[in-house]
Chain A
Amino acid sequence: MSKKLRVATTSLAGCFGCHMSFLDIDERLLTLLDLVEFDRSPINDIKHCGPCDIGIIEGGVCNAENVHVLREFRSHCKILIAIGACAINGGLPAQRNHLDLGSCLTEVYLTEPGLEHGHIPNDPELPLPLDKVHPLHEVVKIDYFIPGCPPSGDAIWKFLTDLIAGKTPELGHGLIKYD
Chain B
Amino acid sequence: MSDTFQLDGAAVPFEPGQTVMQAALAAGHYIPHLCYHPEFKPHGSCKLCTVKVNGRTTASCTMPAEANLNVESNIEELNALRRTLVQMLFAEGNHFCPSCEKSGNCMLQALGYDLEVHATGFRHLYPDRPLDASHPDVLLDFNRCILCELCVRASSEVDGKNVFALSGRGITKHLIVNAESGKLSDTDFALYDKAMQVCPVGVILPKRVGFSQPIGERRYDKRPISAQALDDAPRQVDTSGNCEACEDPT
Give A residues with C-beta under 8 Å from B.
82, 85, 88-92, 94-95, 97-98, 132, 135, 137-138, 142, 144-147, 149, 170-174, 176-179
Contacts and interface: CB of A to CB of B under 8 A. Distances in A.
Interface string B146-185: 0000000000000000000000000000000000000000
A137 B119 CA distance: 9
A16 to B, nearest CB: 15
Interface stretch (B27-35, B59-67, B109-117, B229-237): B109-117
Given A85-B97, A173-B224, A98 B128 contact: yes
Q: SS class of chain B's interface: helix, strand, loop or mixed?
A: loop
B109 A98 contact: no
Interface residues of B, number: 29
Contacts of B224: 173
Contact of A179 (B90, B103, B223): B103
B119 A82 contact: yes
Interface in B226-247: none
Interface string B203-220: 000000000000100000
B196 interface: no
Interface of A is mostly: loop
Contacts of A144: 118
B109 A89 contact: no
17 contacts: A89-B90, A92-B99, A94-B126, A97-B124, A98-B129, A137-B119, A137-B121, A145-B119, A147-B119, A170-B116, A171-B116, A172-B116, A173-B114, A176-B113, A176-B116, A178-B112, A179-B215
Interface of B: 90, 94-100, 103-104, 109, 112-114, 116, 118-121, 123-124, 126-129, 215, 221, 223-224
Contacts of A135: 119-120, 124
* Leading 8 A-B pairs by shortest Cβ distance: A145-B119, A178-B97, A98-B128, A97-B126, A149-B98, A145-B118, A179-B97, A179-B103
Q: Of residues B116, B120, B124, which shows the largest number of chain A Cβ atoms within 10 Å of its Cβ?
A: B124
The winner among A135, A173, A178 for most chain B CB atoms within 10 A is A178
Contacts of B100: 179
A13 to B, nearest CB: 14
Nearest to B215: A179
A143 B152 CA distance: 40
